[in-house]
Structure 1
Amino acid sequence: MDFNQVRYFLALANTLNFTRAAEQCYVSQPALTQAIKRLETELGGELFLRDGRHTRITALGQSLRGHFEQIDHTRHLVRATARAVTSGEIAELNIGVMCTIGPWLITEMLDTFQAQHPMISITLHDVTPASIPPLLLSGAIDGALCARHGSPHSQLRYISLFEERMVVAFPPGHEFSNRAAVPLRAIARQRYVDRLHCEFRQEILQFHEAHDIQQDVAFRSQREDWIQSMVLDGVGVSVMPQFSLLHTKLEHRPIIDPVMSRKVEFAVVDHPQSPPALSELLKHVSTHDWSVAQRDASQSASS
């Protein structure tokens, strides 16, 4: 049994006329007749009775009709699904996100993408900078939102999204509240909560060494949420990306002397042609209005 035989059967069951059924199926009448006969032989009984010009369905044909309709429905569903997957309408994307990238900026972008492509599901994975190249090259993730601090990987392509300043975060009522910006030297004199995932951590340590500063480090952690909670509770201050601020009560000021900023990018494997779903995401990421997101994030973080 094949899909064509099922299709011919249903056409004949609906029309009870070999000529019209053949026309609906775009085949010759002899071809349709032979296909029906082969189907009857396979099933071991007649599906239609021919009485001169009249054709009627048998009890066997009537009992099988619902099953054939279900098979034909499945055939259409399989073909539609195949077209959707091939075109990228249905797909699953695995996207890595560095833990230092705040959700303020990416939530709106992902939400608008999902609204435009409801059949593409996205799974977000927490990744570290060092793990991004091997994860992308192995196919474990399809793309990564990252803040590269160093030379680009030769096998990856980077789409620049926005630039983000590094700020010093502190609790309300802190002495930094009266400043418009804070020099790194002043931060070094404060009790400090050390972010182990900070891209500028090495530069900060080198600054301390160059200026013979021994900073009072209260805690070190890889967890951004723990760090921000400790800062809010007055344990110490910390340097972090502006839009990674999750606690709305935290205050922050830009860092000067030196000014610190990072570029946030979307990284993918540098292939000539990406899969359809990933191509749609790349297009969306590239055309998204990040300036609006940065403004909203800044307002949310400072409110």
Structure 2
Amino acid sequence: MNTRDLEYFMAVAERQNFSAAATQFHVSQPTITLAIKRLETEFGDTLIQRDRTHAQAHLTPAGEILQRRAKLILQNLALTQQEIVQSKATTIRFGLPPIIGTVYFPRLAGKLMADGILSHIRTREAGSDQLLKELQNGDIDIALLESIQPLPNDLLHTQLLADRPFHVIVSNQHPLAQRKHISFHELVSERFVTLNDNFIHSAALTAYSKAAGFKPNVIYKSPDINLIKGLVAENLGVSILVSDAIKAGDEVVALEISDALTERFNISLAYRQGFVPNAMQRQFINDLKVLK
């Protein structure tokens, strides 16, 4: 089977017109017609019904089946081509969420430098949801992803590397600053400042608030973790933050959350199922696995 025939078929299926498909690929209409006939011979069924009166082409039931399968076939071929190119590459296309990059990734930098890998990394910083899409599409090859639950995905190989609890942070001047633990329902009257929706902290805040029976009064969102900690330090609101992001000198107090929820800050290594890393990529993956 000629994969170009599948591309022609997909164009006809999308545009519902042979001439439009021919124009898209800069070929003659008979070229498109012959490609469809070859596919129909291959599969032993009519794939497209032509309405010459209205210059339209409609998929038959067999054509609809092929359209669904052909889309996956062509996507997998494109991924294969990208991975073959990347297998010879001297760079590593790596996805890294900002908070992992700020808090955790620096711990690995020394090892990566010693292994001669650090200068070969081409980092794409974005939220985990966006990186997940780019990983599946083949735009990046390896990623560290954050989630509030373990990260199963049939298209990806994932390995949980570390998990951390969330804490409530309050100002040193806040009445709760003398506490060690807190139940989330005690925060029903508080103002919240939080990382924006590109971070899983927003989802964690929603989960804890829902379990406590209230909707949080979020007065401000930001992608800047230091800004959020600064606003809390000024006693403008409270927040929820992964424990390791709280450093000495932040002028905030971290309170353990006593509610028995399963939501945690999970860090997972992820790459596509079937991805065959080259030697440098394999070393990079092994270095990432030491993150704890």
Cα distance in structure 2, aligned partners of 1:241 and 1:177: 17
Q: Relative to structure 2, which stretch is displaced further, 130-139 or 113-122? A: 113-122
TM-score w.r.t. structure 1 length? 0.58
Structure 2 alignment gaps of length 5 or more: 1-85
Contact 1:136/1:143 (8 A) holds in 2 = yes
Q: Deviations over 1:205-261 (max 9, x none)?
A: 465456553543321233333322211222111011112336732321221213442
The match for 1:282 is: 285
The match for 2:103 is: 104
The match for 2:214 is: 213
Contact 1:192/1:215 (8 A) holds in 2 = yes
Report 1:235-250 matches (<5 A).
235-245=236-246, 248-249=249-250, 250=252
Shift of 1:109: 0.9
Per the alignment, do residues 130 and 209 of structure 1 end up closer, same or farther by CA in structure 2, a change over 3 Å counting? closer
Per the alignment, do residues 176 and 219 of structure 1 end up closer, same or farther by CA in structure 2, a change over 3 Å counting? same
The match for 2:254 is: 252
Contact 1:147/1:265 (8 A) holds in 2 = yes
Q: Relative to structure 2, which stretch is displaced further, 164-173 or 254-263? A: 254-263
Per the alignment, do residues 101 and 272 of structure 1 end up closer, same or farther by CA in structure 2, a change over 3 Å counting? closer
Per the alignment, do residues 121 and 236 of structure 1 end up closer, same or farther by CA in structure 2, a change over 3 Å counting? same
Tell me the SS of whatever aligns to 1:279: helix
Per the alignment, do residues 169 and 206 of structure 1 end up closer, same or farther by CA in structure 2, a change over 3 Å counting? closer
Tell me the SS of whatever aligns to 1:91: coil
Per the alignment, do residues 228 and 276 of structure 1 end up closer, same or farther by CA in structure 2, a change over 3 Å counting? same
Report 1:93-132 matches (<5 A).
93-101=92-100, 103-117=102-116, 120-132=119-131
Cα distance in structure 1, aligned partners of 2:117 and 2:133: 29
Contact 2:117/2:280 (8 A) holds in 1 = no
Contact 1:93/1:120 (8 A) holds in 2 = no
The match for 2:159 is: 159
The match for 2:231 is: 230
Tell me the SS of whatever aligns to 2:269: strand
**What is the letter of the counterpart of residue 103 of structure 1?**
T
Contact 1:159/1:265 (8 A) holds in 2 = yes
Report 1:189-204 matches (<5 A).
189-197=189-197, 198-199=199-200, 201-202=202-203, 204=205
Per the alignment, do residues 273 and 87 of structure 1 end up closer, same or farther by CA in structure 2, a change over 3 Å counting? closer
Per the alignment, do residues 102 and 166 of structure 1 end up closer, same or farther by CA in structure 2, a change over 3 Å counting? farther
Tell me the SS of whatever aligns to 2:99: coil
Cα distance in structure 1, aligned partners of 2:241 and 2:258: 14
Contact 1:168/1:255 (8 A) holds in 2 = yes
Per the alignment, do residues 228 and 87 of structure 1 end up closer, same or farther by CA in structure 2, a change over 3 Å counting? same
Cα distance in structure 2, aligned partners of 1:203 and 1:166: 8
Cα distance in structure 2, aligned partners of 1:284 and 1:98: 18
Q: Deviations over 1:187-212 (max 9, x none)?
A: 33322113333425446446545655
Cα distance in structure 2, aligned partners of 1:143 and 1:175: 44
Contact 1:101/1:244 (8 A) holds in 2 = no
- Larger-Rg structure: 1
Tell me the SS of whatever aligns to 2:260: coil
Contact 1:158/1:267 (8 A) holds in 2 = yes
Per the alignment, do residues 102 and 121 of structure 1 end up closer, same or farther by CA in structure 2, a change over 3 Å counting? closer
Contact 1:158/1:266 (8 A) holds in 2 = yes
The match for 1:179 is: 179
Q: Deviations over 1:80-136 (max 9, x none)?
A: xxxxxx998x82222211123262322121221121225752233221122123211
* Number of aligned positions between the proteins: 204
Matched, 1:266 2:265: no
Cα distance in structure 2, aligned partners of 1:166 and 1:172: 18
TM-score w.r.t. structure 2 length? 0.60
The match for 1:168 is: 168
Structure 1 alignment gaps of length 5 or more: 1-85, 291-303
Per the alignment, do residues 159 and 176 of structure 1 end up closer, same or farther by CA in structure 2, a change over 3 Å counting? same
Tell me the SS of whatever aligns to 2:104: helix
Per the alignment, do residues 280 and 172 of structure 1 end up closer, same or farther by CA in structure 2, a change over 3 Å counting? same
